[in-house]
Structure 1
């Protein structure tokens, strides 16, 4: 018996939530532990002191360019919203994934009420990294991330007020939304989400995660 048209439409809509630049690999199969290929350049970090949890570092521009993910790096792009800053972040993340030949699956959150379920769906995919774009994910992430310390998260263009060691954020003066009722930063500027700034933020953040500099905020002004 053919399924009702409504059921078909629902299934199609659900499938559309998970898309991406996938190589077609079966993520249920084990793969080598991800590693950094290359190394951070001078000025990314003070070599005499590793940053403490929740510290903010300000790397020298481009000091992250020499770090790349190892083969078969698995990333879930978790995103919500269709505002211009979020679209710019998504474009930058997808561009980085194409350049680095990263296996990316996208989970699109329908609205803020679906955020927790969408984060759970991303976790169930067992990626090496979950990268998020969209301010409406900040508060749900603050609830979920402390309970999944083995999963690494990268928040781009925003940050959690009290991140655990598995959450890394990349921010700049025109971004820095922190959630938890704190409201939008007084310096928030949607025009600061340029293609160049977003691309730099993604690469700096991934470089930090790959080199085990997690649980911190990276400032890319």
Structure 2
């Protein structure tokens, strides 16, 4: 097994231990929460006669999220890993969204794989309305961590989880749908597809889904 795969396996194993211990001791899993929706998306955001199933994929019509804005005082934290141009483009777009929407956005930067779990849990401990992630290297660990924190909403931008729980939403596009080690992407990965315009639409469409309580799905943009 390649060193990187071993590192990922170790991270996931470390995250699984507390879950197993909790079950063995009779501790109940977190109770799913259904917070009140902050906004309503446009009628073309999804097919209202056939709502997306859990883990389903929708392709919202352009502009169907334009009237969705975070409420006053909305707080989020952005966890990033990677200095590649793709991740930098995502971070820039997310920062611009936060400034335009007056969102209080904290940054947590992961520099090494053995920091991922601690830093994502630090983000969760901030108890913000939303934890946003940018960077393919975070995907494998998020698949486990998010399932252990069902009370927290997560938004993965520019990638997706293969089997997200109801509290995880992803926003990506063909060319930017990495799903983790060994799974690759649901479409051919294309670094050139990471444009500021696409990244901007992804953060806005993704947050619109979360704010309207359409979570646990993939928002696939053109």
Range class of TM-score, shorter chain: 0.7 to 0.9
State the Cα deviation string for residues 38-72 of structure 1 (Å, max 9, x = none). x3223111111321100000100121111001011
CA distance in 2 between partners of 1:201 and 1:116 (Å): 25
Structure-to-structure mapping, 1:154-193, within 5 angstroms: 154-184=155-185, 187-193=188-194
Q: Is the 8 A contact 2:54 2:217 kept in 1?
A: yes
1:118 correspondence with 2:114: no
Unaligned runs of at least 5 residues, structure 1: 1-32
CA distance in 1 between partners of 2:184 and 2:113 (Å): 16
Q: Is the 8 A contact 1:34 1:128 kept in 2?
A: no
- In structure 1, the residue matched to 2:217 is 216
- In structure 1, the residue matched to 2:199 is 198
Q: Is the 8 A contact 2:37 2:213 kept in 1?
A: no
Provide the alpha-carbon RMSD of the alignment: 1.4
1:67 correspondence with 2:64: no
1:36 correspondence with 2:34: no
CA distance in 1 between partners of 2:192 and 2:47 (Å): 31
- In structure 1, the residue matched to 2:5 is none
- In structure 1, the residue matched to 2:152 is 151
User: How has the CA–CA distance of structure 1 residues 76 and 34 changed in structure 2, closer, same or farther, with 3 Å as cutoff?
Assistant: farther
User: How has the CA–CA distance of structure 1 residues 100 and 34 changed in structure 2, closer, same or farther, with 3 Å as cutoff?
Assistant: farther
CA distance in 2 between partners of 1:103 and 1:143 (Å): 26
Unaligned runs of at least 5 residues, structure 2: 1-34
Moved over 4 A (4+): none
Question: 1:180 deviation in Å?
Answer: 3.8
User: How has the CA–CA distance of structure 1 residues 111 and 185 changed in structure 2, closer, same or farther, with 3 Å as cutoff?
Assistant: farther
Q: Is the 8 A contact 2:176 2:187 kept in 1?
A: no
State the Cα deviation string for residues 99-147 of structure 1 (Å, max 9, x = none). 0000010000012221111101101111100000000100010111111
Q: TM-score, normalised by structure 1?
A: 0.82
CA distance in 1 between partners of 2:148 and 2:187 (Å): 31
Higher helix fraction (1 or 2): 2
CA distance in 1 between partners of 2:84 and 2:37 (Å): 33
- In structure 2, the residue matched to 1:58 is 59
Question: 1:35 deviation in Å?
Answer: 5.1
